[in-house]
Amino acid sequence: MITRLSWGWKGIGAALAGLVLALPVLVIVAGSSGEVLARSPGNDSAATPSYESVRAAHQPSGVVLLDRHGEAIAEVRQDFDERRGRWVPLPEISPAMQRAVLLSEDHRFYEHDGVDWLAVARAGWEWVVGDGRRGASTISMQVASMLAPELQRPHGGRTLVHKFRQIRQAGRLEEHWTKQQILEAYLNLAAFRGELRGIDAVSRVMFAKHPHGLGEDEAAVAAALLRGPNAGEDLVWSRACALLQTAQSGNACELSRATVKRWLAATGAPAADRPALAPHFARMVLTTLPAGSGLSDVEPSEAGLNGEWQIATTLDAPLQRHVMQSIRRHLAGMGLTRLTDAAVVVLDNGTGDVLAYVGSSGELSAASEVDHARAPRQAGSTLKPFLYALALESRYLTAASLLKDAPLDVATAGGLYIPRNYDGQHAGWVSVRTALAASLNIPAVRTLMLIGPERFADRLRALGLPLLNEAEHYGYSLSLGSADVDLFSLTNAYRALARNGRWSTARMRRTDMPSGQAPAPVFDPLATWIVGDILSDRRARARTFGLESALSTRFWTAVKTGTSKDMRDNWTVGFSEQYTVGVWVGNSHGESMRDVSGVSGAAPIWHDVMSYLHAETPSRQPQVPSLLQYSRVEFSHGLEPARLEYFIPGTSLSRVEPVLEQEDVGVRILSPAAGTVFALDPDMPAEVQRLVMRASMPPAALHPLQWYVGSRLVAQGPVAKWAPLAGNHTVELRDANGRILDQLRIEVRGLPRARSPLNAGPGPKFAGQSSVPEAR
């Protein structure tokens, strides 16, 4: 209990003088009940709000996100005007803090009924003698002003009218609220320092403690801030020491200035014990709220106790922790590979619930705040399953169809496109099953040449993949994942494969409808079943990945890896009967990783997460659709072992033989490409510059090949060199009988500039051609 002040003759005289000065106030309010005795100097008809309504209206400056079991996983600030925490009940505020506040602000709080008349008298006397540094506002009067904007201190100070109204409202507050409720409201509504308002904010930010853990030193500093939220360090320290000495009966103050300085410097620090299990996911959830919405738009049913605004999400906190541990464990063993970042997304196949969402590797990342699950990056081979599903659906190919994995030069408007396999080798004739499972690049390009880039790009967009450019921008490289996609969208696209080709948005909030909206059929379910069967076939992928790798699980899964250009990104995305898991690994700088393959980068994390999900839950391959046909297929020349294969109705076969492709029976110019523009190198003598021309290898009967530029024979053989001349030229490839086999037009631009033998360069410069002219 706060001790009463001892009054001597001097104090009594001061009180009498103060009472005389306070007479206008006494005319208005008197007695312990604060009853009105005379007319008010103004019309104050504002109703006193109830304690319950004030507490219910309190809103923290952030919103708390809960996992599917009710555990807090993140707290995201939404209001940047003030920093407010939750409403803290008085029993959860340390006794030391309550004592310090009463001693500093209103030490007769439990003895008066809203107005401390002795404090009013003292303030009046100090005003008379010219030492009026303190007012006489009680905690009740301050709370009354906090609850009524018209009673707050105006610019330039309060007038008598304002003071009269404040006193009257304090009396009303005392009639309807208990003392404990008034003190509780004061501690939760008062401004402490800078943007910190309320005991929860100042405790968790400045002192890194919850309010119930505040000690005497911390309580004294916090109470001193109430008198001057923007006071300097020295003044705060001296006021805190004065409070401590009074509370400790005059003992010496042991609070150091350095400690006060450290606490005051922490006003911008993160709040202690702030949930941060899924910060990237939390920010993404908030972006899905309706445009222009804020904390006030959260459903009332989502408002938690003590004024916390809460959003119930679909995330699973135990799974999220396991994923984070798996990332840290895997990345810690990667050594000097430049693999420092990772992102993981886990979705429920049926509902679309986001069960885990890790956007970065945390402290291992050079950009931990960047959400790598939403960062666009080259997809690599992860787009191939969608390409083959489209080819199967269109009945252009079957799982047993043969594609030639051999060197390929594709003439495009920008020059030659020359795809290569990951290992630089060629497998010859392979089936679609082997080509997809083993992730061979050249067969995928041949497949896109059948489908067309425009049609494939449209289907990718239907899967929710955010292609930023038109199909012609990517060309045939789209088959190898030259487009930028993000992990979250890619994982949800794979979920469509797991759901028989039906795509829907993922669900992040428990209040949303399952699966977002009605699923949209994107693929023929028969085609997606075959693709899933191929991606689960460990024998078919053994050519590239071996039989035992991180892609193999003890339960049924279908999985695909991908690596972007120059080894900057590595992906593994796959699904089981119940879940779809997507993993990306790389680094924040976009640097090439060292010695990181599809099975050593993202795949081990994918395998670990899938094993955790199915530790006690089996995963079985979806039942074969009744409309799907199957038969035993044999391959001529022993290209592949005979096997049972599945077919879309009308495409089944029992024997597969390779056929001669166009380039095997015809002859064409491989380079230069039609329409190529060359420029002679001005720093190299024209007589030594050569343009290399190549043709496909002809049957022996066509030998020798002859190259004509215009009407002039310039060379013979499948590879020739021609000394280019400025101008527009028609290049013709003829057989020994002079029959034209292929022809195209090119342009050579000359630059009239003196050449010096000291500046000789490599040859004529040109645009859009993969075959470089050579100097003789």
Question: How many beta carbons lie within 10 A of that of residue 566, not counting itself?
Answer: 11
Q: Which residues, 6 or more positions from 293, have their beta carbon under 8 angstroms from its beta carbon?
A: none
Q: Across the beta sheet with 629-635, what order do the strands follow?
A: 643-647, 629-635, 655-656
Cβ–Cβ < 8 Å for 648, 398? yes
Q: Per-residue DSSP letters for 611-634?
A: HHHTSSS---PPPPPTT-EEEEEE
Reply yes or no on whether 105 is catalytic: yes
Reply yes or no on whether 381 is catalytic: yes
Q: Which of 104, 360, 381, 576 is catalytic?
A: 381
Hey, what are 158's tokens? Answer: 């309060």
Can you tell me the distance from the alpha carbon of 721 to that of 741, in angstroms, rounded to the nearest whole number?
A: 18
Can you tell me the distance from the alpha carbon of 529 to that of 517, in angstroms, rounded to the nearest whole number?
A: 23
Amino acid at site 628: L
Residues present in the chain in total: 776
Cβ–Cβ < 8 Å for 696, 670? yes
Eight-state DSSP code of residue 486: -
Which residue's entry shows tokens 């420092």?
340
Of 291, 496, 296, 468, the residue nearest 389 (C-alpha): 496
Cα-Cα-Cα-Cα dihedral sign, residues 108, 112, 114, 115: negative
In 150-253, the DSSP E strands lie at 191-193, 196-197
Eight-state DSSP code of residue 477: G
Q: Which residues, 6 or more positions from 446, have their beta carbon under 8 angstroms from its beta carbon?
A: 403, 404, 408
| DSSP 3-state of 462 | helix
Hey, what are 321's tokens? Answer: 């922790």
Cβ–Cβ < 8 Å for 704, 739? no
Of 312, 313, 344, the residue nearest 326 (C-alpha): 344
Can you tell me the distance from the alpha carbon of 217 to that of 240, in angstroms, rounded to the nearest whole number?
A: 8
Please give, one letter per residue, the 3-state secondary structure of 359-408.
CCCHHHCCCCCCCCCCCCEECHHHHHHHHHHHHHHCCCCCCCCEEEECCC
Cα-Cα-Cα-Cα dihedral sign, residues 408, 411, 412, 418: positive
Hey, what are 325's tokens? Answer: 């541990």
Of 519, 525, 602, 617, the residue nearest 567 (C-alpha): 602
- Preceding peptide of 672 cis, ω within 30°: yes
Q: Which of 75, 105, 308, 732 is catalytic?
A: 105
**Beta-strand pair 309-312/62-66:** parallel
Q: Which residues, 6 or more positions from 675, have their beta carbon under 8 angstroms from its beta carbon?
A: 413, 744, 745, 746
CA–CA distance from 534 to each of 28, 97, 332, 367, 645 (Å)?
89, 67, 33, 37, 10
| DSSP 3-state of 56 | helix
Cα-Cα-Cα-Cα dihedral sign, residues 536, 538, 540, 546: positive
Can you tell me the distance from the alpha carbon of 629 to that of 757, in angstroms, rounded to the nearest whole number?
A: 71
Can you tell me the distance from the alpha carbon of 77 to that of 94, in angstroms, rounded to the nearest whole number?
A: 26
* Residues with active-site annotation: 105, 381
